[in-house]
Structure 1
Amino acid sequence: MFKTMSIDFFLFTLFSSFALIASLMVISLKNAVHSVLFLILVFCNIAGLLLLFGAEFLSFMLLIVYVGAIAVLFLFVVMMLNVKAASTTINSFSVLPVGILIFLILFSQLSSTATNFDVFSLQQNELIWVSWILEKDNTTNIEVVGKVLYTHYSLLFLLSSLILLVAMIGAIVLTMHQRTDVQKQKIDIQLARSFEGAVKFITLRK
């Protein structure tokens, strides 16, 4: 039992440390492509933490939605716009008060949450055998999340999908470059053309 607990605590420490280091690299690197890659690494570590806590549905949804869609979209947009390094240098001391304020707010939220949950007190004295045949009638994580998401938070769900749609349209508009040296079809001129002048018969000499 101690071995199982030590493995769980080791994985929790591993995922947490990698997520913290990767998140610091996201905000400290000047190369936008490298920042997006470290952001994907943060999402993967958070998915590992959720899977370790038993929220497998949220873990796989984080991988599918954030890593498979949003982060890849960020990466494509950054690579298409050719944003490699920051063009302007920002003084670190000018943004230091804002960073300290955000850190204190997040730290207060985490400390208030940690008072109700203690990782080190997770102990299991005896093995509990679970009969999965009897568990088949219970409500799964997917059903619980679906009932909450599509009832109480349906408006927020629709608003978030609208925001993602606007972001996708914005990425398409930013990456579209109107070139003047490319020959394009003019559908209105083609449709307005008379059929009499479209075909021309030529008699060749024998």
Structure 2
Amino acid sequence: MDITTVLFYLFSAVLLGSSFMVITARSTVHAVLFLILAFFTAACIWMLLKAEFLAIALVLVYIGAVMVLFLFVVMMLDINSTGVREGFWKHLPLGGLVGAVIALEMAAVLMGGFRLSSAPELSAAEMQLGNTKMLGIAIYSQYLYPLEIAALLLLVAIIAAIALTLRSRKDARTQKPSEQVKVKKGDRLRIIKVAPTVEAIEPDATAAGEPGVVKP
């Protein structure tokens, strides 16, 4: 057993442990930190598999941007997870059953790719292209339609998220651009005259040498 195999099993064990802690941690901040550890360990495994582009993309995009955003949101919202965790053990068998079915389906789909005895041989021209360029050629040639379907699903998800935020609520304040365009000057500004409520005080006639105050 070489050092690459030892590191693979070590990183895999850390990845499985951190993934389990994500769903079992009592604190949401700790769950986010364990998720960051899981992503970083997955990036290390991709580096061992010579998928440098995917490893760097995972670190820069997910750990450097998405997970930092999640961490700030969780810390600012101060979510109380006590109510969310009610009934966890009650629904655990059903959740475990659903997870097992999903794992079996993924295994049935991916087992064909795990039956390779050795890695496919690459030509000299393909080796000169580099990992990133070969990945781009494969995505935009062999996997173009799955890429378009994934982009369409992401577009639908963005539209759904915007639609959920625009739902009418009592505590939400919304703007109507059509009414703002039709507004006139008289609707926004009105000049009124207000009579003085306090009259000017007359000067004391006996006070000598003091300037008098003229009543308006």
Q: How does 1:1-206 map to 2 (within 5 A)?
A: 6-83=2-79, 85-87=81-83, 89-109=85-105, 111-112=107-108, 113-114=110-111, 117=114, 135-136=128-129, 140-147=134-141, 151-161=145-155, 163=157
SS in structure 2 opposite 1:93?
A: helix
**What are structure 1's unaligned runs of at least 5 residues?**
172-176, 179-187, 198-206
Is this contact kept in 2: 1:32–1:83, CA < 8 A? yes
CA distance in 2 between counterparts of 1:104 and 1:145 reads: 30
Question: Number of residue pairs matched?
Answer: 177
Between the two proteins, what is the percent identity of the paired residues? 30
**What are structure 2's unaligned runs of at least 5 residues?**
166-170, 173-182, 193-216
Q: What's the CA shift string for 1:76-126, capped at 9, x where partnerless?
A: 22122111542354234311222321332244246543575269x769xxx
Q: CA deviation at 1:52?
A: 1.8
Which is worse superposed, 35-44 or 51-60? 51-60
Aligned-partner residue type, residue 153 of structure 2 = L
Aligned-partner residue type, residue 100 of structure 2 = L
Is this contact kept in 2: 1:25–1:38, CA < 8 A? yes
The CA RMSD measured in Å over matched residues stands at 4.4
CA distance in 2 between counterparts of 1:143 and 1:111 reads: 27
In the superposition, the TM-score normalised over structure 2's length comes to 0.59
CA distance in 1 between counterparts of 2:64 and 2:98 reads: 28
CA distance in 2 between counterparts of 1:99 and 1:154 reads: 31
CA distance in 1 between counterparts of 2:156 and 2:75 reads: 24
Residues 78, 101 of structure 1: alpha-carbon distance in 2 compared, 3 angstrom cutoff: same
Q: CA deviation at 1:65?
A: 2.9
Structure number with greater Rg is 2
Residues 75, 146 of structure 1: alpha-carbon distance in 2 compared, 3 angstrom cutoff: farther
